Amino acid sequence: MNLDRRGLGALACGHAAADLCQGSVPALIPFLIAQRGYSYAAAGVLLLAVTVGSSIIQPLFGAVSDRLSLWWLMPVGVALAAIGIAGAGVAPNFALTAAAVGVGGLGVAAFHPEGARYANYASGTRRGTGMSLFSVGGNTGFALGPILITPAVLVLGLSGTLAVAVLPALAAVVLLVEVPHLRARTADAARAGRKQAAGRDDWGAFGRLTAAVSVRSGVYFGLQSFVPVWFIHHYGTSEAAGNAALSAMLVAGAVGTLVGGRLVDRIGRRRVLVGSMALQFPLLLLFMAAGGGVLAGVVLGAVGFVTIMSFSVTVVMGQEYLPHRLGIASGVTLGFAIGVGGVAAALLGVLADHSGLSTVMWTITLLPIAGTALALTLPESAVRARPAIATALHLR
């Protein structure tokens, strides 16, 4: 078996559905403030709930799935995410709103480790390509969240979250139907992987990888938070222009995910990771010197492309550094490290209040130096099991 495109398609749809629910919460916050009278502090609590629920605790679900291999967490996780975003709009008070957001975050966290594990198995010998297809589903979901939630709430009021929840609910049903096919198609790969993962888990390399992913997430979340404001206050553009530049970065990042996955299978994991992180610094310098206009938007798109190019790469590397702990590896690289990036963006906001926007943007520009240094310390990710796994796959 090479790529199980049907299985990967179902997993990517599930990933998109889960992250759609997560990405919808920030877009819902302004409506909750305006229509429910929630304070900014209350809004911060909701964002913290979804961040902790969906990202920080993912490694715990990963640890459980390593021991028990709970495939049902995939459809159940997406279903809980759908319940969470639906309930966030119709809950009658803040406590229930926070509870709904928390439940949705738990669903997102539950889906990712098992989803990434099965994406690994379904990728066959082309792990980079397969994981990029799985990852781009998540990127798409994050982008769709604000796009869907805004018109739904404008037309239907806060109960519009019920309409948005229909898509992830359908995705949960699709996953439930597809899981038997996925388990049957990946059974040999899973057995071969467990049998041949005889090498040690390299926790030192995995720790450095986690640090590198955290730095990359800090750059990405920092740019998402401050690029529109930078365009408005530094370049003197409109809000629409700032948001358009941010959209260009997000779209380019999704394309970069697919390109990076294919490059991995051609030139290797470490080269793609080091190259993508090394390119961030000169591109960010060029962005800072661009002076606004079309050039700044184009350069920002290039920044998004190279930054997220390594997203699926780091998931694969994490799984290969911890061959006995695929769930933990996935939970950390997909969840915890990204959550740390979100915390870093919040800290950058504090820095902006005290030292100004320029200081924050230059800090973001310099962060890739640390990320590149960390990436250079990483060994080639272990491919100990590849020959045996490949043999088992081709026997199918």
Q: Please check whether residues 63 and 94 belong to one and the same domain.
A: yes
Report pLDDT for 60: 78
Task: Look up residue 168 and give its amino acid.
Answer: P
Same domain, 186 and 324: no
Residue 103 lies in a domain: yes
161 lies in the same domain as 40:
yes
| Alpha-carbon span 60 to 55, nearest angstrom | 10
Nearest Cα neighbor of 66 from 327, 317, 321 is 327
CATH number for the domain that contains residue 176: 1.20.1250.20
160 contact partners, CB below 8 Å, separation of at least 6: 89, 149, 151, 152, 153, 154
**Does residue 102 share a domain with residue 41?**
yes
Q: Would residue 393 count as lying in a domain?
A: no
The answer to whether the beta carbons of residues 244 and 259 sit under 8 Å apart is: no
Give the pLDDT score at 33: 82
**Could you tell me if 253 and 371 lie in one domain?**
yes
Residues 121 and 249 in one domain: no
Task: Report the number of distinct structural domains present in the chain.
Answer: 2
Examine residue 396 and state whether it is found in any structural domain, yes or no. no
pLDDT along the chain (396 residues), means of 10: 76 91 83 82 75 75 73 91 93 91 89 83 74 81 83 90 94 90 66 55 90 90 81 75 76 84 81 93 93 83 90 84 82 76 78 86 94 92 43 31
10 found inside a domain: yes
189-219 confidence digits (pLDDT tens): 555 555 554 567 888 999 999 999 999 988 9
**Alpha-carbon span 140 to 245, nearest angstrom:** 17
Whether residue 123 is found in the same domain as residue 266? no
Of the chain, the end-to-end C-alpha distance in Å amounts to 6
Same domain, 187 and 266: no
* Containing structural domain, residue 190: 5-196
Same-domain status, 227 and 140:
no
Q: What is the pLDDT of residue 187?
A: 59
Domain membership of residue 369 (yes or no) is yes
Rounded to whole angstroms, the Cα distance separating 67 from 62 reads 9
Residue 72: CB atoms within 10 Å: 12
Cα angle value 345/349/353 (rounded, 5°): 165
Q: What is the pLDDT of residue 260?
A: 83
Q: Which of 151, 174, 196 is the last residue of a domain?
A: 196
Distance CA 105, CA 84 (A): 7
Of 196, 221, 236, the last residue of a domain is 196
State how far the Cα of 176 lies from the Cα of 184, in Å rounded to an integer. 14
- Indicate if 138 and 227 belong to the same structural domain: no
Q: Are residues 10 and 111 in the same domain?
A: yes
Per-residue pLDDT at 78: 95
Q: Which of 196, 230, 262 is the last residue of a domain?
A: 196
Does residue 395 form part of some domain?
Answer: no
Q: Are residues 235 and 359 in the same domain?
A: yes
Position 92 in a domain: yes
Closest CA to 324 of 202, 156, 177: 202
| pTM of the entire predicted model | 0.71
> Is position 392 within any domain?
no
